[in-house]
Amino acid sequence: MASSPISRSAKSTSTPKATTNTTTKAPATSKPGTTSKSQERTGTTSKPQEKKPRGLNLGDAFENAVNKAKDVVKTVADVAQQATKPLPPPKPEDVGQFLKDAANKAKDVVKTVVDVAQQATKPLAPPKPEDVGQFLKDAANKALDVAEKVVGKDVVDNVRPYVDKPQDLLKAGELMARGILVVAGEALSDKVPGGEALKQKIDEAMNTPPPAAPFPEASSLPVAANPPDATYQPTSGPLWGSGPQPSQDVKQSATLGDCYLMASVASLSPEAARDMVQDNHDGTYTVRLYDTNDQGKLEPTFVRVTGDLPTPPHAGYDDNQKWVAIVEKAAAAHAGSYSALAGDENTTYFNTPTLVSGRPTVAYYGPATGADTVYDRIQAADGQGRPMFVGTFDPAEGTYANHAYSVLGVRTDESGQRYVELRNPWGSSEPGNDGKNDGIFEMKLEDFVKNFPFMAVAGG
């Protein structure tokens, strides 16, 4: 089980195979902001985990389990405190920071629960491991009692069955994390004090355009160094070709697991895509991204890159257009490396709709948010060209596990059946047979909520 819902790269495309150096995880050393994010996350993790010798005796195991269980309760209690503390007067830009904090804490919960699960499932010697199992079960139930006050009974009820199966606590941790992300969504509104205010902030954020951000003169921007974890070749093709058509142009390759970024880019409107890249006509391009600064305020950042692109390619490009590969290169330069874009535990992947649109990202847990709200939110976001993606954990209905898909829109047919339109960022490999293997496919709304419980939407 992967720790991230979205880390899969394309299995098979027309692009060359990955080489070792392009997929090796590299530390993001050249971008202080990226480093500090992972440090923050590490810093909020409850306590350093002790290295344990082989052949634990029950006393040590029990004591460790108690400590870990306490950490679970403490972490969940921290989340509860964070979620229920009085909210300041509405400022849409603060929502992004709140989401980031909530998600980081959720990740900490997952990590702690995973640690507990590992402790619970590894063979214990000497006897009576069932005592430890029972203790862990009780501890998990206590933690869930706390979580229930934060995210609501309906969410926690999804998790409780896993408590009886310690080997599935990892799954429980993931579910809980996704549930806690609902704290940043609408399910919070009628469950905890301050929820209604947060919902208002989300509504405001949804309707607030990104900050105005005209491109600066190219000559005023330094040219960013090529991200270090690729080899490059010069390119001469046009930036746009006949496009942009994001839902056709994006072709995630087999060489990089940045599906969440590619899925977000593919769900941009053509106008938004054209508006985020400027051809400087000197062999360089300026890409406008958005990130939060040290004060948690969302602001534009302009990254100027050359037209040299990785070989073998990451995002696909050809002689007709290369804007997607340019955006990907700028995002990699911003993150410090291409590998920093891959969906691993050091990636704030859910925030990519914000990165490319300038709007705060709201994460939904569909089963708790409800199909009607999910439908309405997709429809509203699509109408405003706001990017969205969904992440999978398990393979279902012909989709891949640990992968991100663009959400392109919704429709209702004559019989009242509602559908969601999705796209695999590979630009191929879709479930069903709609006559065109372009990655775009439809799914019934009820199946969508079931199969894609986690949805990230720019601006909610």
Q: What is the DSSP string of 226-272?
A: PPSSS-EE---S-SSTT---HHHH----TT---HHHHHHHHTS-HHH
User: Based on CB atoms, which residue is closest to Ca ion, 50 or 413?
Assistant: 413
For 185, 286, 368, the CA distances from 191, given in Å and listed in that order, are 11, 44, 12
* Least distance in angstroms from the C-beta of 438 to Ca ion: 5
* Least distance in angstroms from the C-beta of 439 to Ca ion: 7
* Least distance in angstroms from the C-beta of 401 to Ca ion: 20
**For residues 162 and 168, is the Cβ–Cβ distance under 8 A?**
yes
User: Based on CB atoms, which residue is closest to Ca ion, 271 or 434?
Assistant: 434
Interface with Ca ion (CB under 5 A): 434, 436, 438, 440
Dihedral sign (CA 95, 101, 104, 105): negative
Structure tokens at 153: 């009974």
* Least distance in angstroms from the C-beta of 399 to Ca ion: 13
User: Based on CB atoms, which residue is closest to Ca ion, 85 or 436?
Assistant: 436
User: Based on CB atoms, which residue is closest to Ca ion, 417 or 437?
Assistant: 437
* Least distance in angstroms from the C-beta of 432 to Ca ion: 8
Angstrom distance (rounded) from CA 349 to CA 150: 23
Report which secondary-structure segment, H or E, holds 80.
helix 58-84
Angstrom distance (rounded) from CA 353 to CA 359: 7
How many helices and strands in the chain, by DSSP H and E?
16, 11
User: Based on CB atoms, which residue is closest to Ca ion, 438 or 447?
Assistant: 438
Residues in the chain: 460
* Least distance in angstroms from the C-beta of 316 to Ca ion: 17
* Least distance in angstroms from the C-beta of 249 to Ca ion: 15
**For residues 151 and 182, is the Cβ–Cβ distance under 8 A?**
yes
* Least distance in angstroms from the C-beta of 435 to Ca ion: 7
User: Based on CB atoms, which residue is closest to Ca ion, 9 or 424?
Assistant: 424
* Least distance in angstroms from the C-beta of 381 to Ca ion: 21
For 277, 366, 384, the CA distances from 215, given in Å and listed in that order, are 9, 37, 22
Q: What is the DSSP string of 187-215?
A: GGTTTSTTHHHHHHHHHHHHHSPPPP-PP
User: Based on CB atoms, which residue is closest to Ca ion, 251 or 329?
Assistant: 251
User: Based on CB atoms, which residue is closest to Ca ion, 128 or 436?
Assistant: 436
Structure tokens at 84: 């229920």
User: Based on CB atoms, which residue is closest to Ca ion, 198 or 422?
Assistant: 422
* Least distance in angstroms from the C-beta of 434 to Ca ion: 4
User: Based on CB atoms, which residue is closest to Ca ion, 376 or 434?
Assistant: 434
Q: Quick one: how far is CA 109 from the chain centroid? A: 16
Report which secondary-structure segment, H or E, holds 107.
helix 92-121
Structure tokens at 275: 């508006």
Neighbour-count burial for 368-406, b at 16+ CB within 10 Å, e otherwise: bbebebbbebbeebbeebbbbbbbbbeeeeebbbbbbbb
**For residues 79 and 183, is the Cβ–Cβ distance under 8 A?**
yes
